[in-house]
Amino acid sequence: MASSPNFQLTDQVALVTGASYGIGRGLAKALARAGATVAVAARSTDALETLVEEIRAEGGTAQAFALDVRDVNHIRACIQDVHGALGRLDILVNNAGLGANHPALDVTEADWDEMMAVNQKGLFFCCQAAGRIMLAQGYGRIINMSSQASLVGIRDHAVYCASKGGVNQLTRVLALEWSASGVTVNAVAPTFIYTPGTAERLDQPAFRQGVLDRLPIGRVGTIDDVAGAVIYLASPAAALVTGTILPVDGGWTAQ
């Protein structure tokens, strides 16, 4: 008899970076509900402690860790701390990231360096540090948060588009290097997702309508939409999926 796809994450340890708010916060809760023990990480642990309490109140298991992805030594120390405290590391969700919009002629060197330090450099060295552990285990799932802006150009987002395009290429190369050793590497590329951070713009009728005009599905995304993709890629059900960029974009990039 054929077995059913397994989407459960029981007995697995997942690390979510940038977990203090927005999408990262929602992903941490979703991973815990799927059965994972969740390490939540961000620069400030104050909001993380509240998140840990909420996960535990739902019957999940979570622990907070301080992490500044702009500092490679801090990345390495944090991931070792997670591994030491929780005994293994099965899933890494690279969610920490920056977004900004500037006309290309207005971009400063500081704008460029700040975004690349988080969106590319920090993400890569999180992959590297987690990858060392996962390769030694012979198992791992890395999910990088990309964007629809990695697949199509968006006005006034030159640096952001470049940073997320780099995320896609890093994802593909790491998948080529690590998949034969049991570590899959994929990316999720969301459209506009309604969060406390995006509400200011999406609650403006003109801006929201401009977004909806580009979304064949007729609505903006939710954190649950992103969580569904992440849970799938983190689960045993996605064992044959690696090096893939999965748009969760309501059809934006189909045009």
- Annotated catalytic residues are 160
Give me 152's structure tokens.
């199509």
State the amino acid at position 153 in one-letter form: G
Cβ neighbors of 16 (< 8 A, separation 6 or more) are: 24, 27, 28, 31, 38, 39, 40, 41, 93, 95
| Interatomic CA distance for residues 221 and 203, integer angstroms | 13
Q: Which residue from 138, 46, 31 is spatially nearest to 92, judged by alpha carbons?
A: 31
Identify which of 195, 144, 210, 151 has the alpha carbon closest to the alpha carbon of residue 172: 144
Sign of the CA dihedral running 6, 7, 12, 15: positive
Which amino acid would we find at residue 183? V
**If we measure between CA atoms, which residue out of 125, 99, 109 comes closest to residue 200?**
99
